[in-house]
Amino acid sequence: MSNSAPLWIALLPFLGALVVLLEGRIRSASPPSPIDSGETTQRAELVRWSAVITLAAALVLSLLAIFAGTLETHFEAPPLVLPFGTWQARLTIDGASSIVLPTFLLAALIAILAAPRRALDARSTAIALGTLGSGLFVAMAMDSVTLALGWTLGAALPISAAAGKRTPSRRAVVVFRTLRVVLLVLGLALAVVGAVQADLERPFELSAVTSPELPFAMATLVLVTLAALARMAAFPFHVWLVPFVDEASPLLFAVSFAANVGLVLFLRVALPLASALIDDAVPFVAVVGLVTALHAALRALSEQRLRRLIALVVGSQLGTILVGAAALRDQAATGAMVGVASVAFGATGLLLVASAVEFRVGSVNVRMGTSSPRAGVTTGLSAAMPRASLAWFVLAFAVVGIPGSLAFVAEDLVLHGLLHAHPIFAVLALLASVLNAVTLFRAGASLFLGTPSRTFAVPDLLLRERVALVVVALLLFGVGLAPHRLVTAATSAAHSLAGVVEVEHHGAPEHLR
């Protein structure tokens, strides 16, 4: 039975974007208010609440579909008969998407709730919402056309956020976004051509596209894998990450990178092909994930700009998630999916603190090893912003996997799965985690502690920001302390993945059991 719930979940962010844009148009057409600051505040709050209402609706709908079981989770559009086969747009909530949907929606909701008013202009908020909606389409798509459309929109919308700017950084971002669209569209097109050649009735279905017997299956595998790696800023596609984070708003960064659908693409399209076609493909992806995790973690050690540093740590953690997913063991794959939620919430929280600081004191550079203030370096902020300081350290520890946090559960499961598949990878992935902990702690110590670099006459976190950060902390620690439901969902998703095997209970002598 078909139901429109998945369609509405993906469309609601677009609807929110439309409302925000229309509202912005109406406001800009109206005569300027004599009290400008009040007008700006009102406008920002309208943008915020329009976005919040649509995202909350999408979140409730997704939770009803996943947990309450009151809604069917498949959407099928009327079939369109084409000369070479039938295309039917299909969306579904299953396995990985049941974790990704509420996670991404919640992360975006929190980011919008806490965003400073100055960051909430109609255009950039609409673009962020549209990017989120595109990601949701990708997460639920069961046919190649919907997948490609969602993927392309998700790449194109953030580019339009900086339309008019012709900076070198933006050019790099455009190049890589175009590359990842080309890779996926080409890969899917080849698969569809193969399916048409094989006379399949529905050549656009993902089940057809991921069939290893079709011609061009190997080319599809390579192209789709590369597209997924590019989306996750995996090595060597990581070059776009730093310029992107330099220019993107925190909200856009949260919905387009921290909430990353690259893994879903890898699990849904590349993994079935890889496990059937070549044995060595998956270790190759695991190696790429490991190199990404270590490279980003090492690179972050010498990074001095706060936003870039967060982006690199998130990139490193996505690398570890990729290693877990590619290990093809149920524990590691489960850990990878739990890790997606942990990274999305943790990165959102850290970005919120960073943007709260940046909106108060300007662009922030961090540096350690000196007690005297230097140009461009911010130190000793905790005197003015003690709550921001506390929030940073709590979130940093949560992100790097202090016991009780969601990241700990994810890390523990990935580690156990990896040790069965590739023990050396497990140790190296742990090293990346150690480096990330040092980086985040160092950044927090440099920014908040020590002698203040100047007098900061800035307010601490507002109540709205505090509540949002408490929600993030509760999600990270609350779900971390009671992860049963999430882990069960992730396990069932992991077991449904092609090639993933259950780890055998071995090694224990009989007398020890």
Partner 1 sequence: MPERDVMLTVLAATVVLAPLVTALGLGLFAFLSEVPSERATHRIVIVAMVTSILSLLSLVVLVLTSGEPYLEVDFGPWFHVGHYEFEIAFLLDELSLGYGFTVAAIGLLIARFAIRYLHREEGYARFFILLCLAMAGLETVALAASYDVLFLGWEIVGVSSVTMVLFFHTRPGPVRASLLVLVSYRIADLGLLVGAVVLHQAAGTTEYEAIFEHGAWPGGATHIDVTTAAIVGLLLLLSASGKSAQLPFSSWLPRAMEGPTPSSALFYGALSIHAGIFLLLRSAPLFAHAPVVRGALIAVGGCTAMYAALVGRVQSDAKGQMAYATMAQLGVMLVEIGFGFVTLAALHLVAHAFLRGFQLLRAPSVIADVRRIQAELKDRPLPSDNAIERALPITWARWLYRHALERFYLDTLAYRVVLRPILRVSEMLAAADAAALQILVREPAPATTEPGSPIPPPAIAKAFEGDGSNKPTGTRA
Restricted to residues 186-215, the positions that interact with partner 1 (CB under 8 A) are none
Query: Near partner 1 by CB under 8 A, which window of 70-78, 96-104, 195-203, 329-337?
Result: 329-337
Query: Near partner 1 by CB under 8 A, which window of 16-24, 101-109, 252-260, 303-311?
Result: 303-311
DSSP for 277-327, please give it: H-TTHHHHHHHHHHHHHHHHHHHHHT--BHHHHHHHHHHHHHHHHHHHHHT
Considering the complex, what minimum distance in angstroms separates the CB of residue 442 from partner 1? 6
Q: How many CB atoms lie within 10 A of CB 144?
A: 26
Q: Which of 387, 400, 407 is nearest to 438 (CA)?
A: 400
Beta partners for residue 143, in sequence order: 205
Query: Near partner 1 by CB under 8 A, which window of 6-14, 119-127, 129-137, 376-384?
Result: 376-384
The residue (of 118 and 505) whose beta carbon lies closer to partner 1 is: 505
The residue (of 37 and 371) whose beta carbon lies closer to partner 1 is: 371
Residue 358 CA to residue 125 CA, distance in Å, equals 18
* φ, ψ at 305 (rounded to 5°): -95, 130
Q: Is 471 in the site for partner 1 (CB under 8 A)?
A: no
Q: Is 180 in the site for partner 1 (CB under 8 A)?
A: no
- Give me the half-sphere count of Cα atoms (radius 13 Å) on the Cβ side of residue 71: 21
Residues 105-124 that bind partner 1 (CB under 8 A): none
Q: Which of 56, 52, 111 is nearest to 348 (CA)?
A: 111
Q: Is 90 in the site for partner 1 (CB under 8 A)?
A: no
CA 18 to chain centre: 23
Considering the complex, what minimum distance in angstroms separates the CB of residue 477 from partner 1? 9
3-state secondary structure of 88: coil
The residue (of 9 and 413) whose beta carbon lies closer to partner 1 is: 413
What does the block give as tokens for 19? Answer: 């409302």
Residue 367 CA to residue 94 CA, distance in Å, equals 45
The residue (of 74 and 422) whose beta carbon lies closer to partner 1 is: 422
Beta partners for residue 329, in sequence order: 501
The residue (of 221 and 443) whose beta carbon lies closer to partner 1 is: 443
Considering the complex, what minimum distance in angstroms separates the CB of residue 326 from partner 1? 17
What does the block give as tokens for 350? Answer: 């850290």
Query: Near partner 1 by CB under 8 A, which window of 101-109, 110-118, 238-246, 250-258?
Result: 238-246
Residues 336-365 that bind partner 1 (CB under 8 A): 365
Query: Near partner 1 by CB under 8 A, which window of 115-123, 183-191, 214-222, 235-243?
Result: 235-243
The residue (of 262 and 480) whose beta carbon lies closer to partner 1 is: 480
Q: Which of 260, 358, 258 is nearest to 312 (CA)?
A: 258
**Which single residue is written with the structure tokens 């140790």?**
427
Residues 126-165 that bind partner 1 (CB under 8 A): none
Residues 398-437 that bind partner 1 (CB under 8 A): 402-404, 409, 412-413, 415-416, 419-420, 426-427, 430-431, 434, 437
